[in-house]
Structure 1
Amino acid sequence: MAMKPAFNPSTGSILDLNGMFVGKIIYIYGRSHKKDDASFAVNLLCGTGGSEIALHVNPRFAGKGVVVRNSRKSGVGWEKEEREPLDKFPFSKPGSPFGIWIICHPDAYEIRCNRYKSYATFKHRMALNSVTHVQVTQDCDVSLVCTGIKGLEIPIQILEKPSGTLNFNVPVFNIREHSITFAGKPTSSEGRFSVDFVGGDNIHFHFNPRMNEQQIVRNSKDDGGWAKEERDLATPFPFYQGVPFQVKISVVKKGFDVKINGSHAFLFKKRLRSLKRIRRISVNGDVELERVTFSG
């Protein structure tokens, strides 16, 4: 059971998790406030009153920085804090984007901060069936809170029947390890369309099927202009006027892994540094889109 994704919720909002169970993942994306002693918290609540907190994850930027973990029981108050490990604070300077993943395991919560693998674990102190809501508080602005299930691809944002010319912002702080699936059909037998992964003035990946040439051009663009094109394709050209297609582009460590109609087509290797700079995706040209799905 997944909660309905909450985009740009007010700080302090209490959001229904729609149940807690082993394998559930909670994703929190946002930006800390730009002040030296910034501190924010993610709370897994037992009920909406806030008196019982099954897990309190509290990054504090003051000094060298620390991520405090704790729980709070009604009538007892805060319990014993956990602060280890202290050797690496997983957040950059105040005012920067952040991502926190909380994964529910049989005996503990696994906490990942800005994609650090298993930054910390916190053993369960309260029954999972008592955990009902999530809340993000204090010095931050929240862009997205959503949930998923470990091992399954989770739709974070779905655009139904968007216009042919489409521009949308990346809904997470780092696009790496996410995928975007485009379902639609070409509208011209002699035309072309493009999908661009954009960061500032740069295009990290330009995906450009050309029906008139029966080729898929791939490229990148920076201050020096367009780089060297790639056109080789091991499979037959898959795009034809009026014929539905599905293109899945997964952003991985090495670059952009592309599947077309369920089959692997190619890997476009990363050319520009820092994939997390990709903040916008655009679609233009001779194409009619039925659905665009951004997944984690």
Structure 2
Amino acid sequence: MQSDLEYGRNYVEQFKADSVSQLVTRGPQSSRLLVSRLRRETGGHGLTAPPPGDAVFSVVLQLREQKQRELYLDGRCVHRGAYAERTTSVVNHLELPRANLISPFDCLIFTVPQSALDELADEARVGRIDHLYCPPCGVLDEKVWHLGNSLLPALERPHEVSSMYAEYVMLAAYSYFAQTFGGQRLDKMSRDTVAPWLKRAMEAMAAQLDTDVSLKMLAEANGVSLRYFVRAFKASTGEAPHRWMLRHRVERAKDLLIGTQATLAEVAISCGFADQSHFTRVFRTFVGVSPAVWRRTVRH
């Protein structure tokens, strides 16, 4: 089996980008969920080689305008012109897409294998879909733009990315692609009281604040699907699992800041943050000030 690094490289090497950053997580079963950021500051790249001819779709989000680009499917030009910033487009690898990248580019490419779409459908107990489609010229989709931008910090600082956050955002993105570009429909989940299994999951999360907890492992431990776990958690608590975890880490950090002489770096590691700078950024987001300022204020 290919390593994650080999798997990721397999889908981007034809672009000859100046800069490549990638994030790979696991799908509900054995599939892999991959997003890549590709950047090239000079024009004149030329015609790309076709990607592997597998049952895979690429969902491409433009982070900057491509002023000149051509898209070929099965050897036929289907689009010639610009791709505006925020544009989302979809290509099917079985149509042997090739792009003539005339201008500089900066984009996110979500690699969506058919196996991942099948796993998502089976978990949700809905019919499978066998296509993702949008017009060759692309569409402006604010949801994809926000999902893509929420992944940029993870691609820039991968050491700070928790498994829970990566799994959550990637699952949300792939689920949205299945619904928006594939026509898949899911029943709405009503907000209800917290089920006993969900209480157990939250207790397990609270007991592992210093650990990189996996959503997939939590779901499996409680006998539910990954997507159902995420939807039920948010419907019951009003928060995404990773957000809930961060908030509890911050509350635990407050206790340590008040009740111990631990340094900020020690508090950061004790509460599951990657390092002191990561801790400071998250703490400021929730509390409004840095942990050092908060500690001084509370103690005086």
TM-score (norm. length: structure 1): 0.29
With normalisation by structure 2, the TM-score equals 0.28
Task: Determine which structure has the larger strand proportion and give its number.
Answer: 1
Bigger RCO (CA 8 Å, 6+ sep): 1
